[in-house]
Chain A
């Protein structure tokens, strides 16, 4: 990951005590498209009680967690196929918030896969449902998971 340094452009009336590094930016619509695909996969997994479908979702989250959501299959499809079809203003976002969401997804799908393999049906359904809820919130409402839970986790330290 390369971050280039920039000088602070804060106005005299505004001061910033953090974030002097320019973060890597991607098209903000990409992770939302990816979340819509994830929602479909997880909804199917919930309907059919399918551990293999959750494994597919887990694999996608694994790529997104380490390399960023733009490198998941959904991210690649977005860039190659969906993005050229879209009109309107491109809003860029920092890669870190959607990557955090991918890591949370990885955690939930890992729990679900372990539960599926161990035939713990209740835990499987709870983990898949929670992950589906988060992905659907992201796809439909542009929900920012990092905004809501990162600080709560940080506060525990």
Chain B
């Protein structure tokens, strides 16, 4: 009884925290960003970067919210000619996944015009946060 109570309490506490933290767009403070090192090159991802912003989404086949995230981001960038959304299969880019510390899917990196990571969202991001993040990048 005690064990069941402990497992359920811990599970619900974790679930509440997890639900709150997923999808939040956070600004990146990594060494690479501070050194102005581009996160990826166009060659590595097989697509050219946006002239102002690139939303680089990592997905896998075993991820339900990846589909919804892909649809949301494609919708947000439609009509923004200087913003590009690229959805890549994490499993076939494990070198990038390791280098960029992608631990879960969907993870969306926000890259500036030079390909430098300025923010990221782990989990399905919220529309208004994505729009606000895009607006903040010149």
Contacts and interface: CB of A to CB of B under 8 A. Distances in A.
Contacts of A157: 94
Given A46-B7, A97-B63, A129-B3, A17 B45 contact: yes
A143 B65 contact: no
B61 A148 contact: no
Contacts of A155: 94, 97-98
B39 interface: no
Interface in B88-119: 88-92, 94, 97-98, 102-106
A155 B19 CA distance: 24
Given A97-B63, A97-B64, A133-B7, A15 B98 contact: no
Interface residues of B, number: 52
Contact of A43 (B4, B14, B16, B74): B4
B60 interface: yes
Tell me whether chain A's interface is mostly helix, strand or loop, or mixed.
Answer: helix
B97 A15 contact: no
30 contacts: A13-B85, A14-B70, A15-B87, A16-B70, A18-B88, A19-B61, A19-B89, A23-B61, A46-B4, A47-B4, A93-B64, A96-B62, A97-B62, A129-B3, A132-B7, A133-B14, A136-B11, A136-B12, A137-B11, A140-B12, A141-B15, A143-B15, A147-B60, A147-B104, A150-B62, A151-B90, A151-B102, A151-B103, A154-B91, A154-B97
What are the nearest 10 A-B pairs in CB distance?
Answer: A146-B62, A18-B89, A141-B15, A100-B62, A14-B74, A150-B62, A14-B85, A133-B11, A97-B64, A147-B63
Interface of A: 10-11, 13-19, 23, 28, 43, 46-47, 93-94, 96-98, 100, 125, 129, 132-133, 136-137, 140-141, 143-144, 146-148, 150-152, 154-155, 157
